[in-house]
């Protein structure tokens, strides 16, 4: 299911004539002889909600700090709105940042925290109060204007930090793990509020997160990072459905990986030999895949069908023993051990009463999926 | 239950033995009259005469010495001059101590314990010896004058020793650690990202300092100022060793009343008034501490 966005949808990265707001050109950042960012090329467009996703230490914060002006690139150029940002200090950039720790000023009230940037801008004094009120309304904190940061909850602090960063109406807002300190429920609620605010203000957001679900929820595009490199930059659905590497596939959501050898590539379909004496498995060929090298078939657990009977004439079917069953309410997850030691997860919606499905621990079962359900990736 | 009471009682016992009882004795002497006897004041409690003796004892106490203090302008001048010297030297200590504390808080993490050691190190030598050392440095033939003349900065030696300047130098030097440590403690606790947030919101480095670092360091500065001001007000050793005949400080007056004039009652009255003067800043100091504790909660 490749995204079929029509022309009216928001997708400036598809338009050849669109001018990016942010442009990274061959950007490298070194700390001593450690390379934190490794030769990155990236365009981010106006009004995008762009997510940087990757494990801890992969360079997300560093990338963000270069945009904010706290770090200079060791090599390459960063341009924002057509201006090369080399040597431009943070206070001279139309960029604001919401810090991972929030960094609220403890000696100032909520109101004064939000007004802090405005008082240092060229906004006339008479307009500041109005703007602060507007921000307080946006994040629904009007009642707490006179409180100090230590007198409000974590979730409220997070909103103050957001309001403070938005108050000056920046072209670009950077959010470094903005929801990291919130509990799950508040997180999800806040994700939607963030999207709402982004839409209302029309600001370009660049968000850092190590939570793939969060990135999928909020972002228009996601950049998956690994060791200072961009592995894939794409829309959430493409990242999920068409990962370009085992790394991305593995990082984003649950996935089964079957490693083997790419036997043949025929148009869109590739065949992978994964165990001796077994028929090869088929999957969608990743772009640029060629036969002959090592590869992996990646498939989402929800695309695998489990049954006790032989599914019949399909290419992709394997036999195994049920090792574990997790009942998740609307879904059940089965862990099936194949004779070769490969473990596959399979997820089925519980449309029938569980007792009538009749698959139990230690049962011999068939797993099957269609030719295009999985994707064959080079390794 | 009993153990708890005893435990709670211990600090009160300390307070009683080490503060209230001595204070009572000093207060009693302050209300007595000077006498050529041993001890050098009258009346003394005479229990052999029973109840009437106690009554006579209390009848003989009066506030005469306090009236005397207010009549002789030497004492008012000494109090005021002590206040002035203590205030100025507290300010100078802040001026000298803040940059040091700031530099320490900004130093690489692994240097900080060593820097802290250096600040505390002088305490390992006797205070008196250190003040004597300053006499050697500041006198007309001292190191400072020799160095300055050697460098050709000055032609004739500067008169530093036995002036108020020497007293300021002595107080600033002696009490500097009391300023550095609390200021350092607040600065070190400060989150680095606050400064970045300030810059991000449009501050230059300098204005970020004034609008973030400085207000956040204020509780530490206030604490440091009190820790310097309170002992400096009653300081005796420094003005008598480094100060001149013109340096008037209440600690020196007190000493002279006790040991030169042997007028214990007047000396005690001076001490009581000094104590009352000190109570005001001490209460303010504790308020500051409490406010800070609440803010950190
Ligand atoms: N100031 C610095 N000096 C040296 N190394 C740093 C510095 N800042 C970050 N790094 C290193 O760069 C790498 C990327 O860090 P960071 O961008 O903070 O990762 P992330 O935000 O993705 O967790 C990490 O390995 C980190 O140790
Ligand atoms: Mg980070």
Q: Count CA atoms closer than 13 A to B161's CA, side-chain side.
A: 17
Range from A149-153, A167-171, A200-204, A308-312 carrying the lowest mean pLDDT: A308-312
- The reply to whether ipTM tops 0.85 is no
Arithmetic mean of pLDDT, A116-131: 94
Centre a 10 Å sphere on the Cβ of residue A263 and count the other Cβ atoms it contains: 17
Task: Quickly tell me which residue has 């934190």 as its tokens.
Answer: A36
Q: Note whether B131 contacts A: Cβ–Cβ < 8 A.
A: no
Put simply, whether B207 touches A (Cβ < 8 Å) is yes
More confident residue, B39 or A303: A303
For ligand 1, atom 6, name the residue with the nearest CA: A31
Overall average pLDDT of the A215-225 stretch: 94
- What mean pLDDT do residues A168-174 have? 93
**Looking at the CA of A60, which ligand is closest?**
1
List the structure tokens of B116. Answer: 């802290």
pLDDT at B36 over 90: no
Q: How confident is the model at residue B212 (pLDDT cuts 50, 70, 90)?
A: very high
Q: What is the pLDDT of residue A4?
A: 47
> What angle is formed at CA A56 by the lines to CA A52 and CA A62, rounded to 5 degrees?
60
> 3-class SS at A44?
strand
Q: Which residues line ligand 1 (CB under 6 A)?
A: A 31, 34, 36, 54, 56-62
Residue A263 pLDDT > 70, yes or no? Answer: yes
CB B258 within 8 A of CB B240: no
- Average pLDDT, integer, range A167-184: 89
> What's the burial of B104, exposed, middle or buried (CB within 10 Å: 0-12/13-18/19+)?
buried
Rounded-to-integer distance, Cα A165 and Cα A96, Å: 5
Answer whether residue B281 shows pLDDT above 90.
no
| pLDDT > 60? residue A18 | yes
For residue B26, the model assigns a pLDDT of 92
Q: Which of A206, A205, A252 is nearest to A226 (CA)?
A: A252
What is the separation of C-alpha A358 from the centre of its chain, rounded to a whole number of angstroms? 37
Burial class of residue B163 in the structure, from the number of CB atoms within 10 Å of its CB (0-12 exposed, 13-18 middle, 19+ buried):
middle
Dist. CA A293–CA A263, nearest whole Å: 8
Q: Structure tokens of A309?
A: 């009977």
Decide: B270 and B233 in contact? Cβ < 8 Å: no
Q: How far apart are the first and last CA of chain A?
A: 23
Q: What is the DSSP letter of B121?
A: G
Alpha helices (runs of H) in B190-256, residue ranges in sequence order: 192-200, 205-208, 214-233, 237-242, 250-255
Average pLDDT rounded to a whole number, residues B42-50: 78
SS percent in chain A: helix, strand, coil, step 5: 25, 35, 40
Q: Which residues of A touch B295 (CB under 8 A)?
A: 106, 148, 150
Report how far residue B253's alpha carbon sits from residue B164's, in angstroms, rounded to the nearest whole number: 16
Q: Which domains does chain B have, with CATH numbers?
A: 71-296 (1.10.3720.10)
Assign A181 a pLDDT band (cuts: 50, 70, 90): confident
DSSP, res A349:
E
Closest Cα of chain B to A128: distance in Å?
Answer: 14
Reported confidence tier of residue B151, pLDDT bands at 50, 70, 90: very high
Task: Provide the chain A residues 34-53 that lie in CB contact (below 8 A) with chain B.
Answer: none
> Which one is predicted more confidently, B53 or A257?
A257
* pLDDT-wise least confident of A53-67, A233-247, B5-19, B119-133: B5-19
Q: What are phi and psi of B258, to 5 degrees?
A: -70, -55
* Confidence bin at A149 (pLDDT 50/70/90): very high
Greater pLDDT, A165 or A182: A165
Percent of chain B with pLDDT over 90: 57
**Contact call for residues B87 and B94 (beta carbons, < 8 A):** no
Phi-psi region of A82 (alpha: psi -120 to 50; beta: other; left: phi over 0): left
Q: How many CA atoms lie within 13 A of B260 on its CB side?
A: 6
From the list B188, B219, B191, the residue with the least C-alpha distance to A102 is: B191
**Ligand 2 center–CA B138 separation, angstroms:** 55
Distances (CA, A) of A375 to A57, A156, A250, A333, B171: 28, 43, 12, 21, 78
**Residues A39/A85, Cβ–Cβ less than 8 Å:** no
For strand A172-176 and strand A95-98, is the pairing parallel, antiparallel, or unpaired?
Answer: parallel
pLDDT band at A20 (very low <50, low <70, confident <90, very high): very high
Residue-wise pLDDT for A45-82, tens only, equals: 999 999 999 999 999 999 999 999 999 999 999 999 99
Q: Distance of CA A102 to CAs A42, A128, A174, B12, Å?
A: 27, 22, 12, 44
Confidence band of A190 (pLDDT split at 50, 70, 90) = confident
Comparing CA positions, the residue from B265, B258, B243, B226 lying closest to residue B81 is B243
Does B88 lie at the interface with A, CB-CB under 8 angstroms?
A: no
The string of DSSP codes covering B203-221 is --HHHHIIIIIHHHHHHHH
Sheet hosting strand A364-369, strand order edge to edge: A305-307, A364-369, A316-327, A331-337, A343-349
What is the pLDDT at residue A357? 61
Which among B193, B295, B186, B214 is positioned nearest to A161, based on CA atoms? B193
pLDDT at A8: 59
Enter the tokens of residue A357.
């499905």
CA dihedral A228, A234, A240, A241 (to 10 degrees): -130
Is the CB of residue B190 less than 8 Å away from at least one CB of chain A? no
Binary contact (A106, B216; C-beta < 8 A): yes
Three-class SS state of B171: helix
Name the residue with higher pLDDT: B50 or A283: A283
> How far, in Å, CA of B195 to CA of B221, rounded?
19
Which are the contacts of B78, defined by CB distance < 8 A and separation ≥ 6? B248, B249, B250, B252, B253
Q: What is the pLDDT of residue A2?
A: 43
Lowest average pLDDT, out of A232-236, B80-84, B156-160, goes to B156-160
Return the higher-pLDDT residue of A331 and A151: A151
Does A1 score more than 80 pLDDT?
no
SS3 sequence of B111-136:
HHHHHHHHHHHHHHCCHHHHHHHHHH
Q: Closest Cα to residue B280, out of B231, B230, B219, B225?
A: B230
pLDDT cut 90: percent of chain A above it: 65
Give per-residue pLDDT as tens, B99-115. Answer: 999 999 999 999 999 99
Per-residue pLDDT, averaged over A302-329, amounts to: 89
Distance CA A314, CA A282 (A): 10
- Chain position carrying tokens 């205070």: B127
Crossing angle for the helix pair B264-296 and B64-71, nearest 10 degrees? 80
Mean pLDDT over A31-37 rounds to 95
The answer for residues whose C-beta is within 8 angstroms of residue A237's C-beta and 6 or more apart is: A1, A3
- Residue B33 sits at φ, ψ, to 5 deg, of -115, 150
pLDDT surpasses 60 at A356:
no
Looking at every residue in chain B, the average pLDDT score rounds to 90
Return mean pLDDT, chain A: 90
Q: Does the beta-carbon distance from B197 to A168 stay under 8 Å?
A: no
Q: How far apart are CA A242 and CA A236, in angstroms?
A: 10
User: Whole-angstrom Cα distance, residue A91 to residue A103?
Assistant: 16
Is the pLDDT confidence value at B201 over 50? yes
- Rounded to the nearest angstrom, the minimum Cα separation between A167 and chain B is 9
For B55-93, what is each residue's pLDDT tens digit?
Answer: 888 888 888 889 888 888 889 999 999 999 999 999 999
Say how far apart CA A370 and CA A348 lie, in whole Å.
15
Token pair for residue A24? 């990274």
Q: Give all domains of chain A, ordered by start, each with its CATH number.
A: 3-94+170-241 (3.40.50.300), 254-378 (2.40.50.140)
């Amino acid at each position: 299911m490749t995204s079929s966005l029509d022309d009216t949808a928001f997708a400036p990265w598809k338009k050849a004539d669109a001018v990016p707001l942010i442009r990274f050109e061959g950007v490298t950042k070194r700390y001593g002889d450690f390379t934190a960012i490794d030769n990155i090329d990236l365009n981010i467009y106006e009004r995008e909600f762009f997510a940087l996703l990757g494990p801890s230490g992969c360079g997300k914060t560093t990338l963000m700090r270069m945009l904010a002006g706290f770090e200079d690139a060791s090599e390459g150029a960063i341009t924002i709105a057509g201006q090369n940002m080399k040597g431009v200090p943070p206070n001279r950039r139309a960029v604001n940042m919401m810090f991972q720790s929030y960094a609220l000023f403890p000696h100032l009230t909520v109101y004064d925290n939000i007004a802090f940037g405005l008082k240092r801008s060229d906004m006339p004094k008479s307009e500041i109060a109005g703007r602060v009120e507007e921000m307080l309304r946006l994040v629904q904190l009007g009642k707490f204007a006179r409180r100090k940061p230590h007198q409000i909850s974590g979730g409220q602090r997070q909103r103050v930090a957001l309001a403070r960063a938005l108050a000056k109406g920046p072209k670009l807002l950077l959010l470094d793990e903005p929801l990291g300190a919130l509990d799950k429920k508040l997180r999800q609620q806040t994700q939607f509020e963030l999207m709402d605010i982004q839409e209302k203000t029309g600001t370009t957001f660049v968000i850092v997160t190590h939570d793939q679900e969060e990135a999928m929820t909020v972002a228009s595009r996601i950049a998956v990072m690994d060791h200072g490199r961009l592995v894939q930059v794409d829309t959430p659905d493409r990242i999920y459905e068409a990962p370009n590497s085992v790394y991305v596939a593995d990082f984003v959501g649950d996935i089964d990986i079957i490693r083997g050898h790419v036997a043949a590539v025929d148009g869109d379909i590739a065949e992978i030999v994964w165990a001796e004496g077994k028929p090869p498995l088929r999957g969608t060929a990743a772009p640029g895949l060629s036969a002959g090298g090592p590869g992996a078939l990646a498939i989402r657990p929800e695309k695998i069908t489990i049954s006790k009977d032989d599914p019949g004439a399909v290419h992709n079917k394997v036999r195994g023993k049920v090792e574990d069953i997790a009942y998740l309410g609307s879904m059940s997850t089965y862990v099936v051990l194949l004779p070769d030691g490969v473990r596959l997860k399979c997820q089925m919606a519980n449309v029938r009463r569980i007792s009538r499905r009749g698959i139990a621990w230690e049962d011999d079962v068939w797993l099957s999926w269609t030719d295009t359900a999985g994707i064959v990736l080079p390794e | 239950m009993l153990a708890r009471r005893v435990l709670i009682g211990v600090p009160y016992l300390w307070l009683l033995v080490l503060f209230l009882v001595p204070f009572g004795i000093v207060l009693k002497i302050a209300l007595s009259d000077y006498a050529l006897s041993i001890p050098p004041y009258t009346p003394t409690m005479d229990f052999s005469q029973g109840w009437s003796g106690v009554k006579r004892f209390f009848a003989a106490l009066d506030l005469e010495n306090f009236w005397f203090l207010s009549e002789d302008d030497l004492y008012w001048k000494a109090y005021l001059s002590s206040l002035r010297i203590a205030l100025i030297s507290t300010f100078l200590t802040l001026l000298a101590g803040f940059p040091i504390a700031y530099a320490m808080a900004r130093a690489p993490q692994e240097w900080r314990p060593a820097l802290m050691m250096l600040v505390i190190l002088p305490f390992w030598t006797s205070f008196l010896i250190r003040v004597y050392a300053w006499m050697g440095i500041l006198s007309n033939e001292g190191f400072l004058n020799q160095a300055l003349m050697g460098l050709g900065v000055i032609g004739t030696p500067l008169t530093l020793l036995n002036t108020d300047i020497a007293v300021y130098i002595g107080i600033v030097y002696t009490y500097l650690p009391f300023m550095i440590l609390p200021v350092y403690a607040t600065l070190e606790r400060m989150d680095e990202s606050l400064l970045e947030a300030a810059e991000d919101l449009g501050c230059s480095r300098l204005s970020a300092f004034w609008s973030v670092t400085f207000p956040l360091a204020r509780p530490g500065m206030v604490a440091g100022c009190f820790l310097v001001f309170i002992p400096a007000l009653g300081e005796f050793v420094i003005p008598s060793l480094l100060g001149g005949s013109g340096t008037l400080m209440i600690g020196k007056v007190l000493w002279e009343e006790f040991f030169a004039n042997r007028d214990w009652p007047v000396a005690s009255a001076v001490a009581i008034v000094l104590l009352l003067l000190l109570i005001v800043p001490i209460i303010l100091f504790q308020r500051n501490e409490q406010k800070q504790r609440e803010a950190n909660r």
